[in-house]
Amino acid sequence: MAAPSGDDFTDRYLAYLPVITGLVRKVLRDAPVDIDDVLQEIWILGRRNYASLREPGYFRGWIGRTSINAALMALRRAKRHSSERPLEESDEYATLPCPKPQPEEQALRREIRRAADRLAELHPVQFMVLYLVRYEGMTYQEAAEALGISEGAAKSDVFRATKRLRASLTAPKAA
């Protein structure tokens, strides 16, 4: 079998760009990292290492793992440099009036914030495997390959993450 060509990589990268972008956004969450820089880094890494991909059928898992690794490296760099740079805060918008939300909207916002907080408490691997399987529609095997873990570990992580989320979201709220 001939090694994949660079043009083939570009075509496949562009076809998977929405999936790659979604993965990167999920890993970065609200970190102060430019997503375009991470996507460019993924393209460079992928283009450089595409010839090492032996089975073209594993491209989705391979590019997924490359994307997650690049996003995690960007997160580490951002954390390392965040202590070096002072935060610039602006009171420019502090005086703008904000309409008071309705009680139903306030309750919904509290529930969404509560769910987001519980998701943020999950171990990063549990979060990613849960996201890949439940929201990206990957099989356990595909998610495991993308994360570099076994299929059994992926199943276990989804089960544990789901159990933990269910327990924390159905627990009585603290007053």
Domain ranges of the chain: 6-82, 103-170
Please enumerate in sequence order all residues whose Cβ is within 8 A of that of 47, keeping only pairs 6 or more positions apart, or say none.
6, 9, 10, 13
The one-digit pLDDT tens for each residue of the chain (175 residues) are 444 555 788 888 898 888 888 888 888 877 788 888 888 888 888 888 888 877 878 888 888 888 888 888 888 887 776 655 454 554 555 555 666 777 888 788 888 788 777 777 778 888 888 888 888 788 899 888 888 889 999 999 999 988 888 888 787 665 4
Cβ atoms of residues 160 and 126 within 8 Å:
yes
Task: Calculate ∠ Cα 18-21-26, nearest 5°.
Answer: 125
Task: Calculate ∠ Cα 92-93-96, nearest 5°.
Answer: 130
Query: Of 26, 91, 106, 38, whose CA–CA distance to 66 is shortest?
Result: 38
129-to-23, 53, 105 alpha-carbon distances in Å: 11, 22, 31
103-to-65, 100, 110 alpha-carbon distances in Å: 43, 9, 11
Res 84: pLDDT: 52
Please enumerate in sequence order all residues whose Cβ is within 8 A of that of 46, keeping only pairs 6 or more positions apart, or say none.
9, 13, 63, 66
Res 97: pLDDT: 60
CATH fold group of domain 103-170: Arc Repressor Mutant, subunit A (1.10.10)
Give the CATH class of 6-82. Answer: mainly alpha
- Domain 6-82 and domain 103-170, same fold? Reply is no
Res 156: pLDDT: 93
Res 2: pLDDT: 46
